Amino acid sequence: MIPHGRIIVILIPVKFELKPFRIGHIVVKHPVVLAPLAGYSDLPFRLLCRRFGAAYCTTEMMLDRMVLVCGKLHHRMMAMTGDDHPLAGQLIGNDPAEMARAAEELCRHGFDVIDLNFACPVHKALSRRRGGHLMGSPKIVNQIVDAVVAAADRPVTIKVRQKLKSADADDSFWEIAEHAFGAGAAAITVHARSVEAKYSGQADWDFLAAVKQRFADRTVIGSGDVTCPKKAVELLMHAKLDGVAAARGALGNPWFFRQVCDVAGGDAPYHPSLAEQKAILLEHFQGACDLYGSQGPKIMRKVGIRYARLHPTPTKIRMAFVEVKNAAQWHDVLERHYDDGVLQASCT
Ligand SMILES: Cc1cc2nc3c(=O)[nH]c(=O)nc-3n(C[C@H](O)[C@H](O)[C@H](O)COP(=O)(O)O)c2cc1C
């Protein structure tokens, strides 16, 4: 019996249908994809993300001329396995002919999609007129897109920012996007910040909505402030995008993609137990050691720090991972701070 004069509010969890989308002929089954992440979106991490639902991943950016020379770096960045598909290889560079040759190499190597980076805000890229710098030079971007589309026998996509400087208008963006789709690009990923803003301030989700409105029948993937699974669903709903890219939100949390399904279904996001976190940390460590050899523990130190936020005492765990210099110390952190009962990984 509801008493007179009182309003009862019943909270019904919002359900949201997660729809597949296409990149050219490729059907991507989960609309939340793993973003390109320099130093993180390598083979071991991608495989874990895929296990928990990521249906599409992108490598970290690879310099076009590094792709064209053989060597350890080339081998590690381009590493993939049969279950790591569909996979985009991301290129960064500024010379149309060199980018086209690197794209051909990525096609030969077995990447499913070639993604072109016109978004990177780091000083090294900008000072060499690559990445985000090119948001101020749409003519060069257009030449690169034309050359790569002509060279690649599979879908080509671009990753762009909203603009170069925060005070700029969006004209360059629209010129680049119109040209790219006209030239045959299969999708565009938009990080809704200026290059100048790097990763600070709020991403402009209204701009992402405007991009999707303008290119209603094209594939548009949004990026920016997808900090948790709830935000991923909110961005999909807000901007009516085909997909969103999980970047910082997925670092140290390969369960992110499964959690998105939970949230979309109206449930609380799954939280892995300490024993499960430990098992995944061990597997991630083993994968890194297989790929990077003796560099594995050093690389995994920064990765462990990212996982710490899932632990009940994140600051303590972060500090423990900061100290790690070798495999024995890595295992020691896991033994001391995570539930036991799983086999130790070895490192060569
Ligand atoms: C550590 C780190 C590395 C990144 N590396 C790349 C990269 O190699 N290529 C790229 O296109 N974007 C890269 N990004 C940008 C992300 O893909 C994403 O667009 C950006 O972080 C915005 O999403 P977020 O606010 O949800 O993190 C990187 C971001 C971070 C934090």
Q: Where are the domains of the chain?
A: 21-264, 274-337
45 CA distance to ligand 1 centroid (A)? Answer: 15
Ligand 1: atom nearest CA of 227 is 26
Reply yes or no on whether 261 is catalytic: no
Say whether pLDDT at 343 is over 90: no
Give residue-wise pLDDT tens across range 327-341. 999 999 999 999 754
pTM recorded for the entire structure: 0.94
35 CA distance to ligand 1 centroid (A)? Answer: 7
Q: Which of 49, 57, 120, 289 is catalytic?
A: 120
Tell me if residue 33 falls in helix, strand or coil: strand
Give residue-wise pLDDT tens across range 33-56. 999 999 999 999 999 999 999 999
Nearest CA to ligand 1 atom 16: 247
Nearest CA to ligand 1 atom 6: 37
Give residue-wise pLDDT tens across range 148-193. 999 999 999 999 999 999 999 999 999 999 999 999 999 999 999 9
**Residues contacting ligand 1 via CB (< 6 Å):** 35-40, 60-61, 90, 117, 119-120, 159, 191, 199, 203, 223-226, 245, 247-249
> CATH classification of 21-264 is 3.20.20.70, yes or no?
yes
Nearest CA to ligand 1 atom 27: 248
Task: Spell out the residues 6+ positions from residue 276 whose beta carbon is closer than 8 angstroms to its own.
Answer: none
Q: Report the alpha-carbon distance of residue 82 to residue 67 in Å, rounded.
A: 20
37 CA distance to ligand 1 centroid (A)? Answer: 5
- Per-residue confidence (pLDDT) for residue 198, from 0 to 100: 98
Strands (E), the chain: 21-23, 26-28, 32-34, 57-63, 87-92, 113-118, 156-163, 187-194, 220-223, 243-246
Ligand 1: atom nearest CA of 131 is 11
Give the pair of three-digit tokens for residue 98.
């060199």
Tell me if residue 28 falls in helix, strand or coil: strand
Nearest CA to ligand 1 atom 14: 37
Ligand 1: atom nearest CA of 35 is 17
Give residue-wise pLDDT tens across range 258-293. 999 999 999 999 999 999 999 999 999 999 999 999
Ligand 1: atom nearest CA of 59 is 8
**Which of 6-15, 281-290, 300-309 is least confident?**
6-15
245 CA distance to ligand 1 centroid (A)? Answer: 9
From 37, 46, 124, 244, give the residue whose CB has the most ligand 1 atoms within 8 Å, as the site to mutate.
37
- Per-residue confidence (pLDDT) for residue 75, from 0 to 100: 85
Instruction: DSSP for 93-117, please give it.
Output: -S-HHHHHHHHHHHHHHT-SEEEEE
- Per-residue confidence (pLDDT) for residue 346, from 0 to 100: 34
Give the pair of three-digit tokens for residue 192.
């809704």
Task: Spell out the residues 6+ positions from residue 242 whose beta carbon is closer than 8 angstroms to its own.
Answer: 21, 22, 31, 187, 212, 219, 220, 221
Q: Report the alpha-carbon distance of residue 128 to residue 261 in Å, rounded.
A: 41
